[in-house]
Amino acid sequence: NAGVMQNPRHLVRRRGQEARLRCSPMKGHSHVYWYRQLPEEGLKFMVYLQKENIIDESGMPKERFSAEFPKEGPSILRIQQVVRGDSAAYFCASSPYRDEQYFGPGTRLTVT
Amino acid sequence: GENVEQHPSTLSVQEGDSAVIKCTYSDSASNYFPWYKQELGKRPQLIIDIRSNVGEKKDQRIAVTLNKTAKHFSLHITETQPEDSAVYFCAATPGDDMRFGAGTRLTVKP
């Protein structure tokens, strides 16, 4: 059973470009969470999704950020018009229920 | 929403000593409390968890205690080893989303 997959592992974008981060949950998991981790800081909740539904997006900035988890395919975290402050590690986690979460390897976004 | 505080932010112990990390939470509806270990540049890994219907859980050198009345829970690592050096995060959730503590950087000196 493959673990949570994220790609790309490293992403470099210039200011103003778009970043698309993908997360494939573990087989059988229908709950996906996205977290952001700034250098030397903790994990900050961004958004919680189930298939085709956003359950809680209270941690996600209201502008430029969006997330989806379509019926088929991976969950996508999309950041439009990136700025330097968006540089961080973005982790997704999946869960078969609403609690136990298993993390992917993360995508390290660098905005130049 | 849930708010989790974690102490200390850094902890240095001698190999073989015990390490204790404490967390408090605010939402009395929280019922699941995992602990994650994150090594440098790696993903957080679940090391132990506890649910609100028990007060203590142990797994080899790691134990977690929960006091629901006081809304705090603790991670105990005994006989620490250099490979225990990492950042440890506590978390709490009532079910819909998980809130993390700020992390404790544990250094075990050989």
CB within 8 Å: B97 and A44: no
Q: Which stretches of chain A score pLDDT less than 70? A: 1, 98
pLDDT at B1: 73
CB within 8 Å: B46 and A100: yes
pLDDT at B2: 79
Closest Cα partner for A76 from A3, A20, A4? A20
B29 contacts in chain A (CB < 8 Å): none
pLDDT at B18: 98
pLDDT at A5: 96
pLDDT at B54: 84
CB within 8 Å: B45 and A45: no
Q: Are A111 and A39 in contact, with CB atoms under 8 Å apart?
A: no
Location of structure tokens 């540089």:
A87
pLDDT at B53: 84
A43 contacts in chain B (CB < 8 Å): 44, 89, 100
pLDDT at A1: 53
Q: Are B87 and B107 in contact, with CB atoms under 8 Å apart?
A: no
A22-48: pLDDT as tens digits: 999 999 898 999 999 988 788 898 999
A59 Rama sector, left if φ>0, alpha if ψ -120 to 50, beta otherwise: alpha
A73 Rama sector, left if φ>0, alpha if ψ -120 to 50, beta otherwise: left
Q: Are A31 and A99 in contact, with CB atoms under 8 Å apart?
A: no
Q: Which long-range contacts (CB under 8 A, 24 or more apart) does B41-50 make?
A: B42/A105, B43/A91, B43/A103, B43/A104, B43/A105, B43/A106, B44/A43, B44/A91, B44/A103, B44/B89, B45/A103, B46/A100, B46/A101, B46/A102, B47/B88, B48/B75, B49/A100
3 state SS of A10 = strand
Q: How far apart are CA A71 and CA A75, in angstroms?
A: 9
Find the distance separating the first CA and the last CA of chain A, reported in whole Å: 37
Element (H, E) at A93: strand A88-95
pLDDT at B40: 86
CB within 8 Å: A45 and B97: yes
B45 contacts in chain A (CB < 8 Å): 103
Q: Which stretches of chain B score pLDDT less than 50? A: none
Q: How far apart are CA A13 and CA A27, in angstroms?
A: 30
Q: How far apart are CA B55 and CA A104, in angstroms?
A: 30
CB within 8 Å: B45 and A103: yes
pLDDT at A106: 95
β partners of residue A4: none
DSSP letter string, B13-34 = EETTS-EEEEEEE--TT--EEE
Size of interface A-B (CB pairs under 8 A): 54
Closest Cα partner for B79 from B15, B11, B13? B15
